[in-house]
Structure 1
Amino acid sequence: MRGNLSLPTASAVRNLGILAHVDAGKTTLTERILYVTGATYKRGEVHDGTTVTDFDSQERDRGITIFAAAVGCDWDGHRINLIDTPGHVDFADEVERSLRVLDGAITVFDAVAGVEPQSESVWRQAERHGVPRIAFVNKLDRAGADFDAAVESIRRRLHPAPLAVQLPIGREGGFTGVVDLVRLRSLVWADGDGDAAVAEGPVPDALLARAHRRRRLLTEAVAELHPAALEEFCAQGSLSAGTLAAALRDLTRTGEAVVVLCGSAYRNRGIEPLLDAAVAYLPSPLDVPAVRGMFDGEVRERAADPRAPFAGLVFKVTATATGRLTSLRVYSGTLRKGDTVFDAGARRTERIGRILRVQADRHTELDVAVAGDIVAVAGVKAARAGATLCAPDQPLVLEPPGTAEPVVSVAVEAARNSDTGRLATALARMVEEDPSLVVRTDGGDGGTGQTVLSGMGELHLEVAVERIRRDHGLAVSVGRPRVAYRETVARGVSGLLHRHVKQDGGAGQYAHVVLDVEPLDPAAGFVFRSAVTGGKVPRSYVRAVESGCRDALVEGPLGGHPVTGVRVTLTDGATHPKDSSETAFRTAGRLALREALRASAMALLEPVAEVTVTVPQDAAGGVLGDLAARRGRVSGSTVRGGVAVITATVPLAELFGYATRLRSRTRGRGTFTTRPAGYAPAPVR
């Protein structure tokens, strides 16, 4: 298909993500948004495997979102580019890459559970990227749904100023609509399957006094935070709908407050006012600061202007049956089919074969994309996620999205020797698409030579291996999962002297260094500093010593694991007028730190996870005992409505197979979620 060029101005574009804990209703909400806006003509269902964004076979089989999927729709004269992100912690890297290119987000919460562990994780991710959010409390039609409790959990765990702009009409199965507190009107959806249009009317008499009281609380909270609103509030004792909406817009974009709406995506209730709020309160590309990049040490800025030099950031690479698709956010300039662009990081040129408007796994061809748009391009052969594509005569490198270190590994090998090459090709393609996967050859632990696949969790690796089997038709055998241990310094050494001297004909090598090694918090990683005075070691050689120390941290003395939590100070050194070089000092730094680590008291660290287990109250005792047997430390336990919610910190190595064990212990009624909680000392083995 080819779409006519009909691009809205950047002020009428909203680049938004849907964020939430797993099973809070992100994908269902995305489906209803597409349905209400006319982008689709049939409502897809997660349980039927008919959703637009969960189009991968594994997503449909497992009933969860695995890959971030981009879709688009039009609402009230605005173009909305939506990315439905995964909710499972193992796929947090997909969320990270999506947030890097988004201007705003809709965060979805379960009206029964409130803020859940992964809700908090994705909220913090958005906070790090400075992405403004509005909140949607979903599933108000469920038994036990409590809008006020959900808002309070947002206040307690995420943000000090959640501003509820709606009041539910009815409870649980009787939820039929909302009261709009900004304009003091009711919005009601007819009983039935939820296909009826929203009916606007006056606030029901039974809710009128409560609605006025809630609006008063809302205006007071806004006036406390917004100077212009405070001025009107002091003068008139209230706020007009226009002033209140403008203040909510400002507070949302600065992050000082978060607007909270409610509804039931499954019942198709609350979608229209949510879209209105997204358009009204969340920023357009023109409302966010111009992006800044670097090239050859020079800072360069790009505004969201179609006339500026082209600059775009690649955030996803997908291999399809028809070729490689590269998804990117256009930050400035105009991109046309056939253009030659520059991959500034790799310093190579690429040619744009086609420009595509993406609707999950369907595409419409465009002739041009402009600043503020999110599109996919075909023809780019080598650009990876995080690459900057730009005008060849105006190069810059934008900051790429971060990638977390993998914590779980498995050994994989082809079932037939003849398929070894095909397996290597399949793994290389998967790593290209998903940078949070790492492939290496195991040279440690006796040098097995096995191919090791590392990822963010057990499910992440299960999905990756299944893709090898399904998409590439390869039979593979998989070893038992292993966690990624780290080593750290428990007690360091001072004044360790190392002299590197090499003379075998021609120019020699000479470097003399003295190091102090001290322990640090493992989260601090590695810190290097120089205390050398009098120019005994030139600055370029100091940098070489630091590089050598970093080389030494790749394998620690306990078991060849990476070393973290160490401060190294170069306290003294000496050079030779002819034989000293950066290479010699890098070698000296590496060998000196290796020697220092062997002389230090080292400790082994293992990854731990915060686990939240939800079980019937009568099964809580057995679950607590099982967590204790897995070296878990329980940090909290609450009971609500006959359901126990237990929070504990458990070593990741002890969680392999826990899902099966929990189902068996609770007769299928228990569920659990995890999120990374850093590293902790491991028992001596």
Structure 2
Amino acid sequence: MSILNLGIVAHVDAGKTSLTERLLFDAGVIDRLGSVDAGSTQTDTLELERRRGITIKTAVATFGIGALTVNLIDTPGHPDFIAEVERALRVLDGAVLVISAVEGVQAQTRVLLRTLDRLRVPTLLFVNKTDRTGADPDRAIAPITGAVPMWRDRGEALAEHDDKALAAYLAGEPAPDGVLGRLTAQARIRPAYRGSAITGAGIAELTAGIAAHLPRAAGDPGGPLRGTVFKIDRDHAAYVRMFSGTVRVRDRINDEKVTAIDDGRRGHVRAGEIGRLHGVRGLRIGDTIGARHETTAAVFAPPTMETTVEPVRREQRHELHAALTRLGEQDPLINLRLDAESRQLSVSLYGEVQKEVIESTLAEEYGIAVAFGETVTIHRERPAGTGRAGAVIGRDGNPHQATLELLVEPGEGLEVALAVPVEHIPMYVYKTVAGFQDAVTRYVRDAFTRGGPHGWDVGDARVTVTRCGYVSPNSTAGDFKRLVPELIARALREAGTVVCEPMNRFAIEGPADALAATLGALPRFAAIPDPPAVEGRRFTVGGLVPAARTTALERALPGLTHGEGVLEATFDGYRPVPAPAAPR
């Protein structure tokens, strides 16, 4: 059986969910077409999605194209829910990028194009809404490198990317069979189709292109177990894409038993397949099943905003914490934070729409009315130097049955290393050295999210376990789990930390006569521009701008550029700033 795990991605309102609905309808999976406006689509199952007419959570549906089974993953288009898109991109064999034939390439379209390029995801383009007034498919794909319009002769386009296709083109012959699919699978070109998800025009051609040109899922069902969790349901079921091996009902994952797969409809999920696992409630988004393997670094910016949240009825504080914990399991980037001193709850955000969604979800699903505080920019702390802290069983008031010493120093991302003999590790608890290292990494990550000396999450640190000890059989995983945050806090105080703010790299394009006004305004937004370039009647200028000021710059741009300016911004990292205290 051939399998294709296919993602549908787009800028919000380009018609992504409508296309998903049309593909399912034409394949006979649903017996009538739903409507985004009417809130009756198959994949927007949340009441909030139906009411707002936007996709909030990634949805998975399956349909067939002949002998090909397609697992269709519909992702959100709104930038506030970009984390959902990131998780989906990690498990795809191919993608369809939907573009409006009227609006053309929009801001989120550019972000997605760059990401698909970086991850080398084979992609087809579907220029949607050709039935609308002002539709122009040729204009819509003109800015996209490698776009090959399938409604025109494509010999010249293929010749630019393949020697055999070039020879055929020069000889006046059609391109050799298989060239289009091979170049698409290599992510060197993007076949473009046009039509309307609403009327069904062009869908048959797109469907044929999906089957003909996108690569099938690979992997050995009998190989070592390797999979990735990319979605957690409200009932704690885990969606996993298997890359190798087979997971069966009653198999154990992290000491938990798989009790059912796909609500009991299947007995296993094999390499290349997507399955919904029940019973493994400890799994989290991004977790690896089976053998550890390299993971792709984050492809989108982390959330850069944070707000406090309080229940309107104070007696619901405990319920609120539990509800937000559940929501955090479904979306780890919500990043629930509880201040140790004030007991104030905070959540991280991509934008105000996400805040409204959290508020509605808490009210409708959990019966908790909440009030949010002011939205502030999330800063991050990095170790400024080196700090060391340790504790020995039975000494200096250590209440834990664990001996541990941690060295914390500056690094990139989070790295946890072991510098202790194997015989000092409680193997009867963690089974393997890798299991111990993975567990300590989780403990350290949790400790860093509790905040450094200034109250912000800690990142870009290397932590080395320089001493370890235990007393068998008394020492447990809980002893090490409770000891790590205490040692991390002490080591960070010794090392000191630098507070950093998130920065975006921006690119502005506009009319040449607006360059002076644009450059003159950039300092108001604390932006640091690179030298600008002028070509013909257009200018481009790039640079860095604090993430907190990016939205204000975007709002000011139309007035600076006669309404013709376009801004793109991507997360670039963190820059040290004077240390603001975290909100309490």
TM-score bin (small chain)? 0.7 to 0.9
Name the aligned partner's letter for residue 70 of structure 2: I
Q: Is the 8 A contact 1:529 1:569 kept in 2?
A: yes
**How many residues align structurally?**
554
**How many angstroms apart in 1 are the aligned matches of 2:221 and 2:111?**
25
Q: Is the 8 A contact 2:4 2:93 kept in 1?
A: yes
**How many angstroms apart in 2 are the aligned matches of 1:375 and 1:475?**
35
1:136 deviates by 2.5
Change (3 A) 1:149 1:101: closer
Change (3 A) 1:540 1:165: farther
Match of 1:466 in 2: 360
Q: Does 1:218 align with 2:157?
A: yes
RMSD: 5.5
**How many angstroms apart in 1 are the aligned matches of 2:459 and 2:104?**
36
Q: Does 1:233 align with 2:168?
A: yes
Match of 1:105 in 2: 95
Aligned residue runs from structure 1 range 95-494, under 5 A? 95-111=85-101, 114-127=104-117, 130-140=120-130, 141=132, 143=134, 145=136, 147=138, 150-151=141-142, 153-155=143-145, 162-166=146-150, 178-179=151-152, 181=153, 214-215=154-155, 217-224=156-163, 233=168, 237-240=171-174, 243-244=176-177, 246-285=178-217, 288-290=218-220, 301=224, 313-319=228-234, 325-329=237-241, 340-345=249-254, 347-352=255-260, 355=263, 366=265, 371=270, 372-376=272-276, 382-386=282-286, 396=291, 406-443=303-340, 447-488=341-382
Q: Is the 8 A contact 2:447 2:484 kept in 1?
A: no
Name the aligned partner's letter for residue 436 of structure 1: L
Q: Is the 8 A contact 1:118 1:675 kept in 2?
A: no
Task: For residue 144 of structure 2, give the secondary structure of its aligned residue in structure 1.
Answer: helix
**How many angstroms apart in 2 are the aligned matches of 1:333 and 1:500?**
41
Change (3 A) 1:92 1:681: same
Match of 1:190 in 2: none
Name the aligned partner's letter for residue 224 of structure 2: E
Task: For residue 471 of structure 1, give the secondary structure of its aligned residue in structure 2.
Answer: helix
Q: Is the 8 A contact 2:221 2:245 kept in 1?
A: no
Match of 2:546 in 1: 651
Change (3 A) 1:540 1:590: farther
Q: Is the 8 A contact 1:17 1:106 kept in 2?
A: yes
In the TM superposition, what whole-angstrom CA distance separates every residue of 1:59-82 from its partner, at most 9, and x where no partner exists? Answer: 234332211112233334433221
Q: Is the 8 A contact 1:355 1:368 kept in 2?
A: no
Match of 1:580 in 2: none
Change (3 A) 1:553 1:429: closer
Change (3 A) 1:367 1:590: closer
Q: Is the 8 A contact 1:249 1:282 kept in 2?
A: yes
In the TM superposition, what whole-angstrom CA distance separates every residue of 1:24-64 from its partner, at most 9, and x where no partner exists? Answer: 33222223323433434544343443433233233234332
1:474 deviates by 1.3
Match of 2:428 in 1: none
Name the aligned partner's letter for residue 372 of structure 2: V
In the TM superposition, what whole-angstrom CA distance separates every residue of 1:525-573 from its partner, at most 9, and x where no partner exists? Answer: 367999x9xxxx98999999x9999999778876233444567999xx9
Change (3 A) 1:436 1:341: farther
Match of 1:31 in 2: 21
1:420 deviates by 2.5
Q: Relative to total residues, which structure has the larger strand share, 1 or 2?
A: 1
1:442 deviates by 0.8
**How many angstroms apart in 1 are the aligned matches of 2:318 and 2:529?**
47
Task: State the TM-score, normalized to the length of structure 2.
Answer: 0.73
Name the aligned partner's letter for residue 431 of structure 1: G
In the TM superposition, what whole-angstrom CA distance separates every residue of 1:389-422 from its partner, at most 9, and x where no partner exists? Answer: 6xxxxx6567778777543222222211332232
Larger radius of gyration: 1
Name the aligned partner's letter for residue 52 of structure 1: Q
In the TM superposition, what whole-angstrom CA distance separates every residue of 1:110-167 from its partner, at most 9, and x where no partner exists? Answer: 446554443343345445655322223334555373525624x222xxxxxx15142x
**How many angstroms apart in 1 are the aligned matches of 2:467 and 2:229?**
46
1:326 deviates by 4.0
Task: For residue 58 of structure 1, give the secondary structure of its aligned residue in structure 2.
Answer: helix
Structure 2 unpaired stretches of 5+: 426-432, 469-479
Name the aligned partner's letter for residue 349 of structure 1: K
Q: Is the 8 A contact 1:95 1:122 kept in 2?
A: no
Name the aligned partner's letter for residue 171 of structure 2: G
Change (3 A) 1:54 1:646: farther
Aligned identity (percent) is: 31
**How many angstroms apart in 1 are the aligned matches of 2:413 and 2:557?**
35
